[in-house]
Chains A and B, each alone.
Chain A
Amino acid sequence: GEDVEQSLFLSVREGDSSVINCTYTDSSSTYLYWYKQEPGAGLQLLTYIFSNMDMKQDQRLTVLLNKKDKHLSLRIADTQTGDSAIYFCAGGMDSSYKLIFGSGTRLLVRP
C-alpha cells in the first residue's frame, strides 16, 4: 500500500538552511504537502506541490520533487528558532480523498 517515510530528527544552527527529506512509495501520488506542527498545536499547512511540478518556492521555503526517485524535500532558508517544530510530509492521489502522512521530522534550531 501507500507509504510515506521521513527521517525522524534534524538539528541545525540558527541562520543555516534546513533540508527535510521525504520519500513516498506510490507513483500515483498527485499532490504532496508539507505541514508544520508546533507543540500543542494542530497541523499548519506550509506549502504543497503537484506532481507535474519539479520545484516550488514560497519565501524562505523551497520544495523539490524528484518523481523518478519518489523523493520530496523541504528547504527552509535562514532557519530561525521559531521554525523548531515537527514537519510532516503527506501525499494524496487522484483516486482518493485521504492524505497519507509520514512520521514527521522533528526540527531543532540551536541558537
Chain B
Amino acid sequence: EPEVTQTPSHQVTQMGQEVILRCVPISNHLYFYWYRQILGQKVEFLVSFYNNEISEKSEIFDDQFSVERPDGSNFTLKIRSTKLEDSAMYFCASSEFGGGSYSNQPQHFGDGTRLSIL
C-alpha cells in the first residue's frame, strides 16, 4: 500500500539554526499537510498546500515557517531560527482531494520526524 515517507526520523538541532523536514507524499495525491505534536499535547494543524501554494495555515504557522514542493515528489517544511518550543513530532500528510462537501478524501500520515532543539 502506498505510504507517506518522512526523513529524517529524528533531527537534533541547536537553537537558532534552520532545519528542513522532508516528506514524500503518496504519488497521486494533490493536497499536502504539516501537523505537529508537542509532547503530551494534541496533534495540531500547521499548514495545507495545493497547486504550489498554501491553501490554509494556522496561527502557529508564522514567518518562521515555510513550505515548498521543490520537485515533483518532495514536500518540505523549513523552520528558521529554531526555538526550544519548536521541539515536537512533525507529521506530514497527503490526500487525493481536500475540502468540499463529501468529496474529501482521508489524510494519510507519515511516521513523523522528531525534532529536538537544544
Contact = CB atoms under 8 A, between A and B. Distances in A.
Interface of A: 30-31, 33, 35, 41-45, 48, 50, 52, 88, 90, 92, 94-104
Interface stretch (B14-22, B77-85, B98-106): B98-106
B72 to A, nearest CB: 21
Nearest to A97: B48
Contact of A88 (B43, B104, B106, B111): B43
Interface in B85-116: 91, 93, 98-102, 104, 106-112
Contacts of B64: none
B113 to A, nearest CB: 10
A97 B106 contact: no
B97 to A, nearest CB: 10
Given A30-B104, A52-B102, A100 B45 contact: yes
6 contacts: A31-B102, A31-B104, A42-B109, A94-B101, A101-B42, A101-B43
B55 interface: yes
Contacts of A31: 102, 104
A37 to B, nearest CB: 9
A42 B100 CA distance: 26
Contacts of A43: 43, 91, 93, 109
Nearest to B50: A97
Contact of A48 (B42, B48, B106): B106
B101 A98 contact: no
Contact of B42 (A42, A96, A102): A102
Nearest to B37: A101
